[in-house]
Amino acid sequence: MTGRLLSSNQAKRVDSKAERSLGLPVLLLMENAGSRLAQEAIKSLKGRFSRVAVFCGKGNNGGDGLVCARHLLASGFKPDIYLAAKKKEIGREAGINLEVLIKLKAKVTEVKAKNLARVRKKIAGSGLIIDALLGVGLKGEPRGLYPDLIGLINACGARVLSVDIPSGLDATTGKIPGSCVKADLTVTFVAKKRGMALADGPRVCGKIVVRDLGVPL
């Protein structure tokens, strides 16, 4: 952990170097991220067993959220997990973690346009929403179902924890080209991202906590 600010490309290179040069698999980095997220989520809840909803995209950011959900389950919580894609579209390491949750009989819902209203009702009264929709690799504005999910998260009134960066915020410029989650807490990894300190970044990140992944910068 350092005071350095990383651009989107630099953040992605940290993960890439960990895998290529050090031989650390993405699955391990995802596990480390998810476990640290769960620790911060539980700390945020101050020990109360409130309802938790975890919104996951289909990439590695979503995978971190899925691991976090498993660790919350192991700690006695019963998180509701919402996917911004079909289960079969969640591939690679994120897909492996999704399969584990399914085997554990966790509550996993594929969000579609036709069930948005039901999801909105379901998350009302949640103590914490975990935003694991989009990560530092986002280019341009969120598309498809993502703007609807971002709007739903912002309108629900619950405390929001964003994974690595609020979904919709450009990790390099701090600009918001479309919809963006407004987080109360952002748990980011290895180092803060440059966009957190620029333009709209400070307005939407809330409190920023930096956690390590077991990989030096």
Could you state, in order of their start, the residue ranges of all structural domains in the chain? 2-211
Q: What is the block-wise mean pLDDT of the chain (217 residues), using blocks of 10 residues?
A: 82 82 89 97 87 96 98 96 96 95 97 96 95 94 96 96 98 97 97 97 98 80
Q: What is the pLDDT of residue 208?
A: 98
DSSP secondary structure string for all residues of the chain? -EEEEE-HHHHHHHHHHHHHTT---HHHHHHHHHHHHHHHHHHHTTT----EEEEE-SSHHHHHHHHHHHHHHHTT---EEEESS-GGG--HHHHHHHHHHHHTT-EEEE--GGGHHHHHHHHTT-SEEEEES--TT--SS--TTHHHHHHHHHHS-SEEEEESS-TT--TTT---SS-----SEEEEESEEEGGGSSTTHHHHH-EEEEE--S---
Domain 2-211: CATH superfamily, name plus number: YjeF N-terminal domain (3.40.50.10260)
